[in-house]
Amino acid sequence: MHTPSFGVGRIQLLFLYPITFHEYLKAAGELQLLSYFEKCAPNNPAQSTIHEKLLLHLRLFLFLGGLPEVISTFLEHRDYQKAGNLIDTLRLSYEDDFTKYRGRVPEVRLKEVFRSSCLQAGKKFIHSYAYPDANGAQVHNALELLTQAGIVHKTFHSPCNGVPLGGGS
């Protein structure tokens, strides 16, 4: 019997993560704006015109989602529809890959939780929003799988009643 091989020694794994806003400004050729941005601080705020330009870039960056291929394509073509189509293709590719986890969580539950996590981004994740009639354990397991796969990232609430994060260093 032949055992499938992974190709050890012939395959190199590369891990891509969303780019940062700093990296986006570099890719967009906004090096002078980046330089201004890096000098900004509460005691050294940006001028209003620079602040407005930074906000425009931040909105675009957030719209594009930080995905390297999407940002590269948008910056090359300046086409929102092309960028949106690429985002849809990547999202569908993620969802198509969920079949490999169906032994642990039903594929449909993974898709529901994935879509719900996108809609709930920036807010407290409410399990029942993912699927009102779902088994809570399935939703929790789906969320854990998505977290382990690096698709979803958990963040934790801070009561913000003290020194700002990073303020002690």
Residue 163 reports pLDDT greater than 70: no
Long-range contacts of 32-39 (CB under 8 A, 24+ apart): 33/57
pLDDT for residue 150: 83
Distance (Å, whole) CA 76 – CA 56 = 18
pLDDT for residue 83: 96
Residue 89 reports pLDDT greater than 60: yes
Query: What one-character-per-residue DSSP string does 8-65 give?
Result: TTT-------PPPHHHHHHHTT-HHHHHHHHH-BTTBPPPHHHHHHHHHHHHHHHHHT
State the average pLDDT over residues 24-45: 95
Instruction: Name every residue whose Cβ is closer than 8 Å to that of residue 112 and which is 6 or more positions away in sequence.
Output: 130, 131, 134, 142
Top-ranked range on mean pLDDT: pick from 80-84, 133-137, 151-155: 80-84
Residue 153 reports pLDDT greater than 60: yes
Residue ranges of domains in the chain: 21-78, 87-148
Higher pLDDT, 97 or 75: 75
Query: What one-character-per-residue DSSP string does 35-49 give?
Result: HHHHH-BTTBPPPHH
Residue 5 reports pLDDT greater than 70: no
CB 113 within 8 A of CB 139: yes
Q: Residue 67 corresponds to which tokens in the numbers above?
A: 């995905």
Give the chain's mean pLDDT.
Answer: 86
Q: How many angstroms separate the first and last alpha carbons of the chain?
A: 59
CB 25 within 8 A of CB 37: yes
pTM over 0.85: no
Residue 168 reports pLDDT greater than 60: no
Higher pLDDT, 153 or 164: 153
Higher pLDDT, 96 or 52: 52
State the average pLDDT over residues 135-146: 87
Closest listed residue to residue 83, CA positions, set 98, 100, 68, 64: 64
State the average pLDDT over residues 97-119: 86
Q: Residue 169 corresponds to which tokens in the numbers above?
A: 């260093």
What are the tens digits of pLDDT across the range 39-71?
Answer: 999 899 999 999 999 999 999 999 898 889 999
CB 83 within 8 A of CB 65: no
Instruction: Give the number of residues written for the chain.
Output: 169
State the average pLDDT over residues 72-79: 96
